Structure 1
Amino acid sequence: MRRRVTFIIPKGHDFDEKDLLISQDKIHIKNLQAAREDRITLSISQTLRMTNALKRFFSQPSVLSERFASSASFQYYQGLLSSTSLSNYIEETICSKKDSACRHDAERIKSADYFDIDYDTISQSFTFTAYFGRAHPVDATGQITKPWNEYIGDFNGSVATEIGILSSQKSTEPEELSLGGSLVQLSKDTRSMSSRSLSTFSTNFVKPTGLHPTLRLTFPRPLPPPAPTCGLLSYLTLPSTFFVDKYQISSTNFLASNNLKALRALSGETDLEAPEWATSQWGSAMLLELAPSANAKGAWSAEIPLQLRYSSSDSSGISNDLPGQVQASVPWPAVFWACPAEEGTKMSVNPFDRVSLGYDGLFGPRTMFYHLRPLSNDSLVEKLSVPVLDLGETQYVASTTILAVMASFLWASWLLARSLYIREKSRSPTQAKKDN
């Protein structure tokens, strides 16, 4: 098993190397205010054990149903109420009782900003990546109230551990953010690498939502592109409860009025009439190009129209204890600049890049992505209540409907018989003789 722990020190914070205590089998991190990424790669034997364990976890009835889709690559969609259940499962099922380091890492998943599970079919290995934007909750001004302070190391002699403490340095290329610092793995090393992140955005539903909710992306300031050839894009992953009318979102005037430029890709379930329970796929994925407002001097927004499918009262949505309603949720989209690299640009591997996320397969191999950071103090999921038929109020619907149909049939039959009787009675005797 291999483990890599990387700390990124933000601007305005310093790190004293005296607070980094290194021994033969572990490192003591003291008073470090930084973002953190933990990455653990398992061997083949450990992968087989993990595969069986994860299959059991994702087949539990407490976890929302699994659905698959395919576009440029296979994607897996799994709704989890929280990371607590996964954390507890790993701690109790995968970690041994004597492996305190494993149990500690499993507990840490609960506070991660995101948690990725990647499987490499060539090496047959699992890689787990957890990212923490801060060590502990922040105060009202956004400052970290408590730094990282812990021991990290190989506690059982079987984990190759590498720890990096990096900060921003002046880069040699305009598109790069150069990082430099210390990498510790049985000895010392210093390296430099690039990472790209620009600005922030937030997401919310426009109120009132109704059955045609609008997802609004808000940007706190104007966004000049990193280069003239870059495009600002948003990649949305929509569960089957939601869908997009591709004809509506292809209208040039409609797009312009919502600060949208074009629909670049749409895959998955796109049937405009099918109810939620009749969809054959997990949902849909959409790549939209945004049109940053050229006249914006401050905050600006782009609005994406969505629609809700008819849902049943026993759908996978989470009940919000209101009769006749279930709760639907949609994850925040990924927002990024996509820039084609110039000829001769060295596209070196960035160890912090997250790949095979769905949208990167829609671009060429020589594309640079500049991501905008989602700005939220809560989970990156938007929720809304969806009206459904309350089965508790439908106990008399079937019998009443049958009675209404029978009464209507009898009423129509009586009117028909009555009209025939009146017509027969009103005929003259001469006409009756002619007919006979």
Structure 2
Amino acid sequence: MKRRITYIQRPDAPFEAQQAVLTSKSLTIHNLEAAREDRLTFDLDDLPDEFRNVLQQSQELRLRWATERPFDAIEPFASRVSPGLHVQYTPLALTQSSEALCSLLRTAFEVNEDGLNGVNCTKAEETFITPPPQAAHAGAAASLQYHTELPSLKSFVEYIEQIFCDWLQERRKECSGTAESLLTADTVDLDYDSSSNTLVLSGLCSTAPEGGWSEEIKPPSSKSDKVEFGLLGAERGISADEIKIGGLLAVVGEDKKLKPTMFSFPSRHHALPESVKYSVSFAQPTGLHPTMSITIPHSSLHRPPAPDDTTCSLHTYLTLPSSVFGDQYQLGTTDPLFLQSHNLAGLRAHAGETDLEAPDWAVNRWGSTWLFELATPAENEFTTERSDWTATIPLHLRYLNPSDSGYRSAHVPWPVVFWACSAEDHEVGMGLNPFDRTNLGYDTLFGPRTFFYQLHPDADRLVETVDVPVLHLKEGEGYFHTRNIELATTIVISLGFFWILWRLLRVAWSSGVGANNTPNKTHDRQKKE
């Protein structure tokens, strides 16, 4: 097992030499103001049987989790995903069952005592969705995607401590320390690739606790393990696509002093200034056809500092639960009047559940994803227009199960908003980035020579709650209650039945009378003649 602890300080953060002291027995940190990433790398032999068995059936398994709280995404950790748990999975054989994966996910992310959502799947092929065709063209390996609302990682941390850390025995202390740090993390990743046969668990906390980070890091208890430490600062490199890193490195228990370092690398994701923000809301009242509004100040709409040979466009990537969906025919239109009225340049990709008629209880898959290119004002409008720029996306709500209150809540995670800057001839060596983060859902919908510049969400909670009117179960005042509706339905059906029966009897009676009269009329004519 290899452990890597990385502190990233802002350029203006204070630092003194006594805040990081390395000895032969430990490395001590005092009151350090920095972002922190913890990373554990496991070989398959280090893992418990139930986890190893699932990974051995997987070509690729990647989990991405992000908190509902707003946080600072600083370089080189600038990438973002919508709040909740994202899973990307590719089995080794397309015909094999994925029940073991779903069972593992349900156990690791079970519903907590406080009622927070967990994973709801039995088989990945039935619950997961298939990525858009554009992802396959971009060379994306993952063939199935999943998302669920997950405000807390409490059950996951308990699972790691009980299953992982107990399995590691003498390395339990290091494992438990990393697991507990995930409770305050802003993002958590779990990556497995069959080509490397290693599992990487990482968690990022973008801000230090009150008073800064203070801890003692000791050498690993096993000689086969390693603890790497980095105290670094990041700034923009000489080239527009590069990030320059400088600071101190050490291997705890091996090095006798901290070693200075400086290096640079091209980065896929870049952070824009903190003032470049966006907000998300739903027009009230929402009804059954809510409209999502993405509002961006004009000052945040300027082209990012990307390489000159790149073409940049503003995008948003939506992750919608099954209760909320878009009409692919409406949103995929090329009608300029519709697009201009919503400040959209067009729908670029979508995947998942798009059935316009199915109620939520008839939908098996978790939901859908949507990639839109947003229209931006012309350069001359930046000086004349002072109001915010708003793009709107019309959505729809499915019929949900009845409730005692007559309403249910649909929780919609905020989309990510970013500039995508691409160039055909630009040479990019992303593999040199030791902090690179891929398989975020939207990145595979662009070419490999694409840079992403993330806007910062501006809110206290990055999930919107939409009240959905449903059948009212609780008895009381009003007409639209279960008993009244059942009685009215019975009356209407009964009236309809008797009306149809009456019409049939009337037709039968009329036919009988006509048949009886025909011979008599013939006989009377013959008699007269």
TM more than 0.5:
yes
Deviates more, 1:56-65 or 1:211-220: 56-65
User: After superposition, what is the alpha-carbon deviation per residue over 1:364-395, rounded to whole angstroms, capped at 9, x for unaligned?
Assistant: 222222222334433x3222222223455535
* Contact 1:222 1:292 survives alignment (8 Å): no
Equivalent residue runs for 1:181-330 within 5 Å = 181-185=247-251, 186-187=254-255, 188-194=259-265, 195=267, 196-198=270-272, 199-220=276-297, 221-226=299-304, 227=306, 229-249=311-331, 250=333, 251-294=335-378, 295-296=381-382, 297=386, 299-313=388-402, 323-330=405-412
Which AA in structure 2 matches 1:300? W
Which AA in structure 1 matches 2:396? Q
Equivalent residue runs for 1:86-97 within 5 Å = 86-96=156-166
User: After superposition, what is the alpha-carbon deviation per residue over 1:241-273, rounded to whole angstroms, capped at 9, x for unaligned?
Assistant: 121112222232222222221111112222222
Residue 150 in structure 1 maps to residue 215 in structure 2: yes
CA distance in 2, matches of 1:344, 1:416: 78
Q: CA deviation at 1:156?
A: 1.9
* Contact 2:148 2:321 survives alignment (8 Å): no
* Contact 1:26 1:155 survives alignment (8 Å): no
CA distance in 1, matches of 2:205, 2:458: 14
* Contact 1:327 1:385 survives alignment (8 Å): yes
User: After superposition, what is the alpha-carbon deviation per residue over 1:197-248, rounded to whole angstroms, capped at 9, x for unaligned?
Assistant: 1133333333322211222223343322235611111112222212111222
Which of 407, 414, 422 is 1:340 aligned to?
422
TM-score computed with the length of structure 1 as normaliser: 0.84
How many corresponding residue pairs? 417
Other-structure match for 1:409: 497
Q: CA deviation at 1:423?
A: 12
Unpaired runs of at least 5, structure 1: 137-144, 314-320
CA distance in 2, matches of 1:233, 1:422: 70
Other-structure match for 1:318: none
Which AA in structure 1 matches 2:288? L
Other-structure match for 1:69: 129
Q: CA deviation at 1:173?
A: 0.8
CA distance in 2, matches of 1:41, 1:363: 29
Per the alignment, do residues 202 and 8 of structure 1 end up closer, same or farther by CA in structure 2, a change over 3 Å counting? farther
- Name the structure with the higher helix share: 2
Q: CA deviation at 1:171?
A: 2.0
* Contact 1:41 1:128 survives alignment (8 Å): yes
* Contact 1:47 1:125 survives alignment (8 Å): no
Per the alignment, do residues 372 and 177 of structure 1 end up closer, same or farther by CA in structure 2, a change over 3 Å counting? farther
CA RMSD of aligned residues (A): 3.2
Q: CA deviation at 1:415?
A: 7.3
Deviates more, 1:122-131 or 1:247-256: 247-256
Q: CA deviation at 1:281?
A: 2.6
TM-score computed with the length of structure 2 as normaliser: 0.70
* Contact 1:118 1:127 survives alignment (8 Å): yes
* Contact 2:405 2:473 survives alignment (8 Å): no
Per the alignment, do residues 169 and 243 of structure 1 end up closer, same or farther by CA in structure 2, a change over 3 Å counting? closer
CA distance in 2, matches of 1:78, 1:122: 28
Which AA in structure 1 matches 2:303? P
CA distance in 2, matches of 1:292, 1:154: 53
Q: CA deviation at 1:27?
A: 1.8
Equivalent residue runs for 1:94-133 within 5 Å = 94-96=164-166, 99-133=172-206
Which AA in structure 2 matches 1:214? T
CA distance in 2, matches of 1:11, 1:213: 43
Other-structure match for 1:14: 14
* Contact 2:47 2:164 survives alignment (8 Å): no
CA distance in 2, matches of 1:150, 1:13: 19
Per the alignment, do residues 303 and 405 of structure 1 end up closer, same or farther by CA in structure 2, a change over 3 Å counting? closer
CA distance in 2, matches of 1:248, 1:431: 62
> Structure with the greater relative contact order (CA < 8 A, sep ≥ 6): 1 or 2?
2
Which AA in structure 2 matches 1:363? F
CA distance in 2, matches of 1:133, 1:284: 29
User: After superposition, what is the alpha-carbon deviation per residue over 1:20-47, rounded to whole angstroms, capped at 9, x for unaligned?
Assistant: 0112353212111112222211111124
Other-structure match for 1:174: 240
Identical-pair percentage: 39
CA distance in 2, matches of 1:189, 1:104: 27
CA distance in 2, matches of 1:400, 1:51: 57
* Contact 1:266 1:286 survives alignment (8 Å): yes
Deviates more, 1:73-82 or 1:111-120: 73-82
Per the alignment, do residues 419 and 248 of structure 1 end up closer, same or farther by CA in structure 2, a change over 3 Å counting? closer
